[in-house]
Structure 1
């Protein structure tokens, strides 16, 4: 039987609090400055100076502004680094808006297909509720980006620049989701009336036509062919004519995306290490690359990231950026704030417990561009963010090695850095399918 809180117990709590001078000091400080500012550790800032033994030259940072496209920015930034080096293009950017357009379009189709698949399920089933809660959003996963590029290619930012709706996507998302929920009503009614597949496809095509109109109006029309002219960092003029988004990728990036794999660290009981996982209803391009994660221990995880950095290539990675981090100074460290002491509460949880109990999951994707190695061991990491150059050190953050252990969940590396055993696992093992709401299905 439930019990109420007795008033005498509250009085006891109050007296205990007021009798402790340390608690009263914390109260005065927090009331004036807030919890985090009061708890900030200067020693952690000093320990995480932005100096690294391996430090890739990557140029200025991009800015995703008021959108949730970090996964997209991070991936395109890794390509941008290679283009800048190979073609002597300083401060060059790829079009995030082009990829954004096709991601939204494909996510609508992916949603419609899942609505059809679950059309006979009760409206109150967890899967249907999961689909309808957020029909589409800005976030994504590395393998979803691969699927988009393999189908649609990429273009320079000057060919399809940003718009108000790509830089601040709240309005666009609201109306896309409004339409997709309305369309879900129609599709479920058709399934209920035993419509055949051709009838469902015709209805879906009409719905996708509406999605395209919304996207073209808000984001512009994606180019099919274009000319690309530029001057390189040495002042030499170049003109590339009659390019397509796919031929541009082939010429300027020329990276075999099938050679890259997603590595995760999820130390939960339901996900043994050295196994492959996928997530039900996670994706964007129907028939495109499947999301596949290889789960490894953190020591292996960091070894793989270091190997790719040593080879001169940056690393796409996903983490829970809001945990124990500062936006202004750009420090991600487990000891940057001592909130336990400030509030007199023990917040300690293991990484597995945070995942299992909903305290943490991947929320943001960035790029590892450096690491500080002392006697062969990593101590801190250099991170290229996509929040512009007004945060951190000109947009770059510092991540302590301990923070990497606790709050980083995913990296993407070339297969060549995997051991023979791990390579055989990722290429051969059938993936265990996780529930749609599993934390490893989180979209950065």
Structure 2
């Protein structure tokens, strides 16, 4: 569009320039023709014995014999009535008084017999009368309305020509830009294939102007793959490296429980706190390691069904009624492992605190989990959001919700807590809907 605008501007300026050139050439040609006619008349003018003027022959132009025909001539001599063409009818042209001596032709603007503007040429000549020379002026004028007609005809040809030229140039520019950007469109499709997981790297079939960019993108993709692999290995190593010392600390605390109950309780409490922080950090590391260039998604319904089936088999879960309503079209913008960990914590928490009923459904683009348990206060909800335990009487309570919140945030979503209509806690996990890509 910018190129088309520049082409239109250039053609507009060119059109103005052509009109100016036409006007100047037309004026110069008009002056030349009028001067030629003035010279012809000067050769045909004679002075009679009584001093009157006469013209032996007029220029053969029908406009000179038609009243107000648009072409006029007039010859003036001091003390003698002017000779004029029949086209002037009963009017005369206002020309300067003849002076002695011949001179070059002068282009002037005069007022015509009908009030129109005239382009005129005034030439001073010396007429022979006996042995003396008599100064006179020969004036030939053309109505500018005739020139305006020629100008209008010229514009009538120029404007369509410029429009046609603009169409051709804009079309050529469009084809050129489209052809020049074709490799980038192909690159976009290949990147989409990488995002969708249908391709691991970009192909090497691009023009030399684009190939360096493709090579850099491939290096970045490979670098990210290696970095993610290292992150997964380091997360696993850290899990194995920390769980064993923490287990040893727990065993030592239990061993000295009889001798130093205060020290044993403090050691066990600190070991449990460290274990929770390690678990949370590892959960976030696993989700972050899955955030590569490939756009992942998984259906929610099968994961919910599998988790609910497993939770129903736990001791004490037979009294809880699960009301599950998740459409098969709902998809989570992440891999199945992250979704399993996210929903596993939330569903297990709902099972622990529910009295009789747990509801699992959807609301817009998100998952809603409700129970009929005791619920949580606003202060407790805020504390869970910061990773604190809600209640110490049940293992894992509160901290699993914090881990689920971290996972939701890592995948571009959000977890909110509120009071359920069942009386217990309502957890909503929502995520943004991916915007459709332009074709």
Work out whether the TM-score is over 0.5: no
- Which structure has more RCO (C-alpha within 8 Å, separation ≥ 6)? 1
Question: Which structure dedicates a bigger proportion of its chain to helix?
Answer: 2
Classify the TM-score, shorter chain. under 0.3
TM-score, normalising length: structure 1: 0.19
TM-score by length of 2: 0.20
